[in-house]
Amino acid sequence: MFDGNWRGTVDRALVPIGASLRRTGISADVITVTGIVMAGAAAVAIGTGNLSLGLLFLILTGVPDALDGAVAKASGTASVRGAFFDSVSDRLTDALLFGGVAWHFSATRADQTVMLPVAVMALAMLVSYERAKAESLGFDATGGIMERAERFIVLGFGLLFGSLLVGTLWVMLILTAVTAIQRFVKVWRQASQDRPAPTPTRRRRNRTRRVRREPLSERLAARRATKDR
C-alpha cells in the first residue's frame, strides 16, 4: 500500500538528504549495514523485555532502510549488486525483529504465543518471495494492504503499547495473509492473460546500399537513455 501511494513522494523528498550524506563520504552499503546492526540491537532489547528501547532501535532500523537507496542514487552507485544486498538485508532485518519478539514471548508467556511472530515472519517472507519471483518472470506483484513499511508501523505500535503487542501481531498476521493472497491473485491474473504471439518480420536486403552503423558507444548510450525513461 505504501509503495503504490507514497513511495515516489518519499523518494523525491529523500534525494537532498541522500546527497548530503554522500558528501560526507558515507556509502549506501555502510548505511545498509547500520540498519542491520540497529535491527540486531532492537531484537536484543525486545527479547530482554525492554520494549521502549526496542521501539527506539526499530525507528533507527527504518531510517537507514529509507536512506540507503537515496545515497546510492546521489552517488551514482545504484546497481544490481546494491539492490541484491538491500533485499537480503531487508529479509535479515525482518528475521531479527520477529525473532526478538519470539524471544520475548518465550520468556514471558507459557502458551504457544511464541509461534505468533514466527507465523508473521513466515508470511512476510512469502509476500517478499511472491514479488521477487513474479518480477523474475516479468510480472508485477507490488502492492497489498500490509507491506514492509506497514509492518514496521504496526510493530512499532505494539511495542509502544506493550499490553497490545499480542493483539497487534494477530492483526499483522491476518493482514499479511491478505497481502499474500492479493499478490498471488494479481500475478495469477497477469499470467492467465493470452499474450500475443510475436509477428514474424521480413528482412529486406539492399545490395546497392550499405546501412551505416553507429559506433558502439553511441548505440549503448542511446539504449541506456531509452531504458532510463
As annotated, the active-site residues are: 90
For residue 28, give every residue at least 6 positions away whose Cβ sits within 8 Å of its Cβ, in sequence order, or none: 68, 69, 71, 72, 75, 77, 78, 82
pLDDT of residue 68: 75
Residue 4, C-alpha cell as written in the block:
503504490
Higher-pLDDT residue of 223, 111: 111
Judged by average pLDDT, the poorest of 79-88, 91-100, 185-194 is 79-88
pLDDT of residue 182: 96
- Predicted TM-score (pTM) of this structure: 0.77
Taking only the tens place, the pLDDT of each residue in 179-206 is 999 999 999 999 998 665 555 555 544 4
Nearest one of 191, 190, 192, 150 to 171, comparing CA atoms: 150
Q: Read off the DSSP letter of residue 112.
A: G
Taking only the tens place, the pLDDT of each residue in 27-61 is 888 889 999 999 999 999 999 999 999 999 999 99
- Give the whole-angstrom CA distance, residue 154 versus residue 187: 26
Residue-range domain boundaries for the chain: 2-191
CB 158 within 8 A of CB 168: yes
Judged by average pLDDT, the poorest of 2-16, 45-59, 208-222 is 208-222
CATH architecture, domain 2-191: Up-down Bundle (1.20)
Half-sphere exposure of 24 (CA within 13 A, CB side): 11
For residue 144, give every residue at least 6 positions away whose Cβ sits within 8 Å of its Cβ, in sequence order, or none: 1, 127, 178, 179, 180, 182, 183
Average pLDDT over all residues of the chain: 82
